[in-house]
């Protein structure tokens, strides 16, 4: 059975209560594309309100702490996300790795925490510009995979999002061949480590300046099962064309 397409919106530090109307519009229209799974990860402050406003929608957190609880001011634990109604969490986004100094070991611990709390996990990897230009992108990303992906998990509950750092929010996009090559390498590494489940059940997403104009081409690349979308996920007008593109595939 083919892996279902998966389109996830990462609202980052954007959105207030009034923004729930955009989420309602997105989820309502996404229902017309039954073959695509759609999720939104708003700021922590909106998770409960979004879950309440759109019952049954897949809503997630943008990060979690590796500990279940404790003296970690300003942090959010995975069980807290689940308690608020979230069903998934993003870990290892480059804005956390780069801006907050998170290591592969940190990301792995967060992924384990999310899975342990019953959440699905989207684990992000991606190379900076200088690594891409040096020709070491695949080796760099596969090292992140080796260090960040837990050893024991349900393959249906862990997705990998490849987001080249130089493409996030810049408008720059790798070639379709480059995306296919990276996703193929990731799939191969996961299959070698975990066997058939990595090929049959694990979804690989692409992220980085995805929009309605390029979504069909990017999502049609080999081993691309969907998209992790940033700025274009904030409104129905920009996000829904990406969902529609996934549905066509």
Catalytic residue numbers, as ranges: 93, 163
How many contiguous H segments (helices) and E segments (strands) does the chain have?
11, 8
**DSSP H or E stretch at residue 81:** helix 78-84
Three-state secondary structure string covering 68-134: CCCCCCCCCEHHHHHHHCCCEEEECCHHHHHHHCCCHHHHHHHHHHHHHCCCEEEEEECCCHHHHHH
Residue keyed to tokens 């510009």: 129
């Amino acid at each position: 059975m083919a892996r279902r397409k998966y389109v996830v919106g990462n609202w980052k530090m954007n959105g207030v209560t009034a923004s729930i109307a955009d989420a309602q519009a997105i989820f309502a229209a996404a229902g017309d594309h039954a073959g695509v799974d759609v999720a939104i990860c708003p700021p922590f402050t909106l998770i409960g309100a979004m879950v309440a406003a759109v019952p049954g929608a897949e809503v997630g957190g943008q990060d979690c702490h590796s500990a279940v609880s404790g003296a970690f001011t300003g942090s959010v634990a995975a069980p807290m996300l689940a308690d608020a109604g979230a069903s998934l969490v993003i870990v290892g986004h480059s804005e956390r790795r780069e801006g907050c100094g998170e290591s592969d070991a940190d990301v792995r611990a967060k992924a384990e925490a999310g899975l342990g709390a019953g959440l699905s996990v989207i684990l992000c990897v991606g190379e900076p510009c200088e690594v891409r230009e040096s020709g070491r992108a695949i080796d760099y990303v596969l090292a992140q995979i080796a260090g960040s992906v837990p050893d024991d998990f349900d393959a249906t509950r862990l997705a990998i999002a490849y987001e080249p750092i130089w493409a996030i929010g810049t408008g720059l996009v790798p070639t379709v061949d480059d995306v296919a090559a990276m996703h193929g390498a990731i799939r191969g590494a996961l299959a070698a480590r975990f066997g058939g489940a990595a090929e049959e059940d694990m979804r690989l997403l692409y992220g980085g300046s995805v929009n309605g104009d390029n979504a069909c081409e990017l999502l049609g690349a080999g081993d691309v099962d969907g998209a992790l979308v940033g700025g274009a996920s904030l409104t129905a007008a920009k996000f829904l064309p990406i969902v529609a593109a996934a549905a066509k595939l």
